[in-house]
Amino acid sequence: MGNFSDNLVNQRFSQVYYALEKHQLIKGKSDIAKRLGTYNHVINSILKGQRNITVDQLHRLFDIYGVNANYIFGVEEDMFQEGVLSPSDIPARAMEDRQISGRNNITLVPERALAGYALEHQDGDYLKNLSKFSVPHLEGELIAFEISGDSMMPTITNGDLVVCEPLESGTSLRDNNVYVVVTDVVVAKRIQQVRDGDQVTSLRLISDNDSVYKPYEVELDDIRQLLKVKCRLTSYAIS
């Protein structure tokens, strides 16, 4: 069994947990477990390094407690989001009911929801039911996808989130950049534009793990949405 205590996100979650507990913003593992949609023994296992915290649990942590996503992913040292008071300044009762949905501009599509997104990404009601969060300095209406598999390793690893900007039809594309391509499925790939004369007719999708995954082409008419990858959020520590 892997040593989940080496996971940077789990380490940062533990620090957040003990900070919340120290300032009496949570009443132990059962309290935070209920608000994160899980169970006491799950929180206990994460704190002991026996399992990973999930994407859904992280998003609730960001929403309910105002935790800074960049802190969790090791990018910044501010534990709480910009504009959120320090824990010692926030009454526990107010923190329990606190929601910061006004700043949550990134819609999260976890791995289990990718198939539904491919079919319903234009349905406003569908999108409203997905989780949302924010990351400092990432503005606009963005979409974050949880990536599974190893086809884009080492650029994107299993479990990473890629935060993307949806593109309007006709937007100029840049060959060899990474995009999320939505057809019947949702994939993150490098692209190369395939032309017939001056006309782009299809995209060649290229995996960075090219010793295992070979390039393939998709017709433009089969592409339901293109999104440009703006950044990656990873749970892997820098070595």
What is the value of pTM for the model shown? 0.60
User: How much is the mean pLDDT over the chain?
Assistant: 85
Q: Mean of the pLDDT values across residues 192-200?
A: 93
Of 46-55, 106-115, 182-191, give the range with the top mean pLDDT: 182-191
Q: Which amino acid is at 70?
A: N
Q: Tell the CATH topology of 4-100.
A: 434 Repressor (Amino-terminal Domain) (1.10.260)
Considering the segment(s) 106-233 as one domain, its CATH architecture is Ribbon (2.10)
Q: Where in the chain is the domain with CATH 2.10.109.10?
A: 106-233
Q: Mind listing the pLDDT tens digit for each residue in 66-105?
A: 888 888 998 888 888 765 544 444 434 334 434 443 468 8
Residue range(s) in the chain whose domain bears CATH number 1.10.260: 4-100
Q: How many angstroms separate the first and last alpha carbons of the chain? A: 21
Determine what percent of the chain is predicted with pLDDT higher than 70.
Answer: 87
**pLDDT over 60 at 1, yes or no:** no
Indicate the residue type of 204.
R
- The DSSP symbol for 227 reads E
